[in-house]
Structure formats: structure tokens, C-alpha cells
Amino acid sequence: MAKTKTYYFCRDCGYQSASWLGRCPECGKFGTFDEEVLKAESGKRKSEGGNILSAPKRLQEVTYSQTPRLCTHCGELDRVLGGGIVPGSLLLLGGEPGIGKSTLLLQMALALANHRLLYVSGEESEEQIKMRADRLCSSEVGSRKAEVGSRKPDGSDLSPQTSDLYVVSETVTQRIFEHIDAVHPELLIVDSIQTITTEDLDSPAGSVSQIRQCTTEFQHYAKTTGVPVLLIGHITKDGTLAGPKVMEHIVDAVLQFEGDRNYGYRVLRALKNRFGSTAEIGIFEMQEGGLREVENPSEFLMSHRDESLSGSAVSATLEGARPMFVEVQSLVSSAVYGTPQRNANGFDLRRMNMLLAVLEKRCGFKLGVKDVFLNLAGGLRVSDPAMDLAVACAILSSNVDMAISPRDCFAAELGLNGEVRPVSRVEQRIAEADRLGFERIFVSKYNGREIDRRRYHIQIVAAGVIEEVFRALFA
């Protein structure tokens, strides 16, 4: 009989302890310890790569083959990955349930029709995957290839058409690796890691030790064979990846798929990427027939508004290397209750409170007795500091009830003394504003010097303090 041992794991950070603890010494959270039973021999299991001899080498002796990245045929996904999937990499795609993780990866798999892929699902049956694939294929958005079909690993067709996308519904890693031996895929997709278990452990699917063990097994497979593995992971209510932090350390890249359910837009970000930048974002729109790539995000971030409406200002922000024009809307009204209400959608509330204090002090508005609401059009969350000036101007515009021209835009940070501070890559923002047909852009005068004004048609207003911007807009 197998000897068993009981351990306690922190649900949050994966800290392991021999006894139950009320407070995790690692992450400091209370009541996060779960009991898990491990079979004693799990540690003795021989690893498949045990026969590979490793020895230290001089750096100049190390050679590597220039295997190109696997291009996913999805521009937005490639952008976030840093130009495609690196061979032998282990990627984790996280997101709330229903946000579209399975759709995104299945759509990618369908577009990669000339590669041999294995899609392992622990959540859906083969028939359900096929139904989703048909739905994606029946629209132009979902896939460019109509002749895509899918097969079970034993070779029986799920559809009369054939391609090299194999699907299987399976939850045990040992059997997944048997399927891999039969199929020899070039890319493995696992949906989702929380449903996968290994026979070596007795703990339930989704527990810390299972997730950690299964992720390690897939990592081992990816590193020894060079086949990239894409794992789907769930996200808990507070926005962290369900499962321990250790999973984030094991994988090469953590991508997060997020968005507001009320809007069709989805944003893909890299929280960690060993092979690319984490500043890039990919934007998609969820449509009836799947996810559509949004190449020009400014199209939905600016509402088409009436010129006479006050409280709106357009910010020239950058996400990664890509300029995005976001419309900030604000409503300032007299507070009905003793404590004024403050609310910000898509913008940091504390930052907004700080900007309100600056406006109160520098521009002399009694904003402390007003309700202030702020909203970014399109439901996007933006953290670029260059948003500050647009936010301040939208609030001022609503407060004095005078409209800002829709052909004005802003790109500057605000300091605590009301100074208009420079932002990074201002030329790129100006060039994009020029291209989109804006007539004026407000920037910091400290940015102003580096700009070659002759290159643009757009009028560049360089300001030193917020009062100057206020006078230029409303005087």
C-alpha cells in the first residue's frame, strides 16, 4: 500500500507546511491553508528526462538552432507574444470565466491549419469543441479557412473534412502524454490547468499541489521536446490567477485576457514575458462569430459626440508602442449628500482625487463640495500617466459647463503643484494625433523643445502649468 503524507498548502502563494497554520508566513494571508494528501512515492518517480546528461559548458560553446517563432496568424496575439510563439515555451493564458480564452485559442488553432496541433480540454467534450469550431468557421471573423475539421486522437473523424487539429477531452496528465505520443503535435493547448490532475497525487483537481505538479510536467515536456505548450488558467474574483503564484514562476509568459462583459471589447496583456515586452496589448472585439482583431483601437475609444457637450476631453495615450486615443468623460455636479461622491471607471480613483486637489488649489475651483464622476469611453482601463491632463480638462470643462472642441487632444502628466509634466515618446503621440485629424494637441513645454513643429500640421500648445491650459481652453 502506498504510504501517504498530509501537507498543508497556502491557497494563495503555495507555501507548504507540515501542520495547519492560521496565517501564512509567506504571504501573510489568514485562513488560506488547505489540507492535501500526497502519496509518498510521488517524490521517487523517475523523470522522463533522467537519461540526459547535463554538464556545465562555456558560454561560447553553447549553441542553439535558430528555430523561428511560430507565427499565430493573429496580429494582436503575435504582438503581445513578442512576434509569435517561441519553440519549447510554456505559456499561461488567464482570464475570468466566459471572457473568451477557449475561443481565442481555438480560433488561433483553426487559423494554424497547416500545423499539427493537439487541443486537450478538461472542460468541454469533443463535440462541444467541434460545435464551437463550426460556429467560428461559419463566419469570416472566426477563421479564414473553411475546410478545417477536427479528429479524435484515435483517428476517427469528427467531421468529413480533415486537418491537423486534434481534439481530446481528457483530464489526467499520464493519458494526455499517451495522446501526445500518438499525435506528435507541434503545439499543445490545455484547457484548463485547473481541471487537469496527475495520478501521482491524491488531492483534487485545482488544488495547489495538483496545479504545481501538472504545470511542472508540461514544462518538462515543453523543454525536452521543444513543443510549445499553451495552458489556460482561471482567474479568481480578486483578479489573481487561481492557483498558486508558483505557476506564474514556472511558465515563460503569463497572458491575461480581460474586458468588461458589458462591452464587446477584450484586452490581452502580458503580465510576464520572457521573450517579449510586457507593455504591448492586443485588442479584440467579441462578435457573434468569434473574436475580431481591432487594429485601430481609437475607433471605439472615442464616442461620436456633439461639439457642444461639456465634460469630454481626448487623451493621446500609449499602450506599449501603440498610440491610442481615449475619450475621458466627466460629470461634476453639486453634492446632494454631505460627503461628495467620487467615482472613476477605467481610471485610478486615488489619482483622480489627487488631480481634484490640484485643481482646487491651483485653479481655485471648490471641487471639494462637488460630486465627480469619471468614465473612459469603451470600458478600457488605462494607466498611462499622460492621461492626467485630459482627465483634469474634462473635469474643468464639466465644472464650468463649457465644451472642449472634439478636435483638441491632450498628452501630459500633472504634478502636485499643477505643473504640466513631460511624457514619454511625445513625438509619436503628436504624429498619431496629426494623422487622425486633430487640430490642437496640449503637451508640456518641457516636451515642447524636442518637437520638430514643421513636420506636423497640428497646432502644438506647450504649457508649463495647468492654469495656462485652462486659459487657452476656456478664456
Question: From the list ligand TYD, Mg ion, none, which binds 253 (C-beta under 5 to 8 Å, kind-based)?
Answer: none
Shortest gap between Cβ of 191 and Mg ion (angstroms)? 6
DSSP 274-290: TTS-SS-EEEEEEETTE
Residue whose CB is less far from Mg ion, 14 or 94: 94
Q: What size, in residues, is the chain?
A: 475
Residue whose CB is less far from ligand TYD, 103 or 195: 103
Binding site for ligand TYD (CB under 6 A): 95, 97-103, 132, 135-136, 286, 288-290
Shortest gap between Cβ of 271 and Mg ion (angstroms)? 19
DSSP letter (8 states) at residue 87:
T
Q: What share of the chain is helix, strand, coil (3-state, %, to 5)?
A: 30, 30, 40
Residue whose CB is less far from Mg ion, 89 or 102: 102
The CA-atom distances, in angstroms, between 109 and each of 13, 118, 167, 185, 405 are: 32, 9, 11, 12, 45
Shortest gap between Cβ of 231 and ligand TYD (angstroms)? 13
Shortest gap between Cβ of 122 and ligand TYD (angstroms)? 12
Question: From the list Mg ion, ligand TYD, none, which binds 394 (C-beta under 5 to 8 Å, kind-based)?
Answer: none
Query: Which residue type is seen at 108?
Result: M
Cα separation, 149 vs 219, in Å, equals 29
Whether a cis peptide bond, with omega within 30° of 0, leads into 192 is yes
Q: From start to end of 101-252, where are the E strands? A: 117-121, 165-169, 187-191, 229-234
Cα maximum dimension of the chain = 86
Question: From the list Mg ion, ligand TYD, none, which binds 362 (C-beta under 5 to 8 Å, kind-based)?
Answer: none
Q: Give kind and range of the element (H or E) at residue 329.
A: strand 322-334
Q: Site map for Mg ion, 85-114, x if CB under 5 A?
A: -----------------x------------
Shortest gap between Cβ of 77 and Mg ion (angstroms)? 16
Cα separation, 229 vs 86, in Å, equals 10
Residue whose CB is less far from Mg ion, 34 or 96: 96
Question: From the list Mg ion, ligand TYD, none, which binds 135 (C-beta under 5 to 8 Å, kind-based)?
Answer: ligand TYD
Residue whose CB is less far from ligand TYD, 72 or 298: 72
Residue whose CB is less far from ligand TYD, 43 or 97: 97
Shortest gap between Cβ of 377 and ligand TYD (angstroms)? 21
Question: From the list Mg ion, ligand TYD, none, which binds 167 (C-beta under 5 to 8 Å, kind-based)?
Answer: none
Q: What angle do CA 7, 11, 16 make, to 5 degrees?
A: 35
Residue whose CB is less far from ligand TYD, 135 or 152: 135
Sheet holding 290-293, edge to edge: 165-169, 117-121, 187-191, 229-234, 90-95, 253-259, 265-273, 281-287, 290-293
Q: Site map for Mg ion, 332-351, x if CB under 5 A?
A: --------------------
The set of residues, in sequence order, having a beta carbon less than 8 Å from that of 247 and lying 6+ positions away, is 92, 193, 211, 212, 215, 233, 241
Shortest gap between Cβ of 107 and ligand TYD (angstroms)? 8
Shortest gap between Cβ of 107 and Mg ion (angstroms)? 12
Asked if 194 interacts with Mg ion (CB under 5 A), we say no
Residue whose CB is less far from Mg ion, 122 or 153: 122
Shortest gap between Cβ of 167 and ligand TYD (angstroms)? 14
Residue whose CB is less far from Mg ion, 104 or 412: 104
User: At 358, is the secondary structure helix, strand, or coil?
Assistant: helix
Nearest residue to 286 (alpha-carbon basis) of 139, 153, 460, 474: 139
Residue whose CB is less far from Mg ion, 130 or 425: 130
Where do runs of H (alpha helix) occur along 226-321? 245-250, 298-301
Shortest gap between Cβ of 267 and ligand TYD (angstroms)? 14
Where do runs of H (alpha helix) occur along 165-303? 173-183, 208-225, 245-250, 298-301
C-alpha cell at 1: 500500500
Shortest gap between Cβ of 100 and Mg ion (angstroms)? 8
Question: From the list ligand TYD, Mg ion, none, which binds 307 (C-beta under 5 to 8 Å, kind-based)?
Answer: none
Question: From the list ligand TYD, Mg ion, none, which binds 320 (C-beta under 5 to 8 Å, kind-based)?
Answer: none
Residue whose CB is less far from Mg ion, 123 or 439: 123
C-alpha cell at 43: 517524490
Q: By Cβ distance, which residue is nearest to Mg ion?
A: 102
Find the radius of gyration of the CA atoms of the chain.
26
Q: How many residues bind Mg ion (CB under 5 A)?
A: 1
Interacting residues with Mg ion (CB under 5 A): 102
